[in-house]
Every structure is written in structure tokens, then in C-alpha cells.
Amino acid sequence: MKFTFNHFNFNVLDLEKSLNFYKEALGLKEIRRKEASDGSFILVFMGDGKTDFSLELTWMRDRTEAYDLGELEYHLAMRVDNYDEAFKKHKEMGCIEYVNESMGIYFITDPDGYWIEIIPTR
């Protein structure tokens, strides 16, 4: 038996804001969408166009309060081919949350407060 990664989920309050963020900050594109027939939820899968892994953004119609993200001891990690250019872009966007210079990485946050680690291609 063999398992492979498929996707990771973030629940979001403002789907359009999140879609725009992931497109602008990370270049992700919508690859598929599922909408409940009663309008109670929308699932949007975002992909990088290179791997089969996707990020699922889940919007729930009746959700109005921010999600409790706990202590944020989890995160999504993305590798980038031009670290300096990415850092500059994210700094201009105002979404850099933490820089770890000794490890050569940094973290950005999305509109809902989820952390995304940015790793240079080495």
C-alpha cells in the first residue's frame, strides 16, 4: 500500500480576497471548484501548474467569525526559484510575518492568518 500527498485545506472567510491573495502572492491558479447545490459551501482547489498537489480553500456561507488557528504550529511551505524577488514582492504586499535569516527562509500570512513558509530553491 502506498499513500501520496493530494491536497491541503484552509478555511477562508472571504473567498475572493483569498483567491486574489494566492494568485498574486504565490502565482497559484484555480484548477477546479465544487459548489454545494444549496449554496452552503464552495471548495476551490488552487494549483501551481507544475505538481499535482493543491491547496483547497473552503468557504462556508454561514461562517462569519474568524477561524481559531490555534498556536499556528503548522504551515504550508512553498519553494521559490527567485527568493530575493519573492521577498521584495511579499514585502511590498505587506504580508511578511516572520523572517528567519539564519535558516534563509521567511513566512507570509494570508488574509485569514494562515502561515506560508517561503523556501529558496537550493
- Listed in sequence order, the residues at least 6 apart from 113 whose beta carbon sits closer than 8 Å to its beta carbon are 66, 67, 69, 72
Q: What is the mean pLDDT of the chain?
A: 95
pLDDT tens readout for residues 10-33: 999 999 999 999 999 999 999 999
Percent of the chain with pLDDT over 90: 90
pLDDT greater than 80 at residue 3: no
Of 8-22, 43-57, 60-74, the range with the lowest mean pLDDT is: 60-74
Check if 85 is active-site: no
Q: Which of 30, 56, 97, 117 is catalytic?
A: 117
Q: Which CATH number fits the domain 7-62+74-120, given the four candidates 3.40.50.1360, 3.10.180.10, 3.90.550.10, 2.40.170.20?
A: 3.10.180.10
Per the CB < 8 A criterion, the answer to whether 74 and 116 are in contact is no
Task: Return d(Cα 66, Cα 87) in angstroms, integer.
Answer: 27
Residue ranges per structural domain of the chain: 7-62+74-120
Percent pLDDT > 70 in the chain is 100
What is the spatial order of strands in the sheet that 41-47 belongs to?
Answer: 7-12, 54-60, 41-47, 29-35
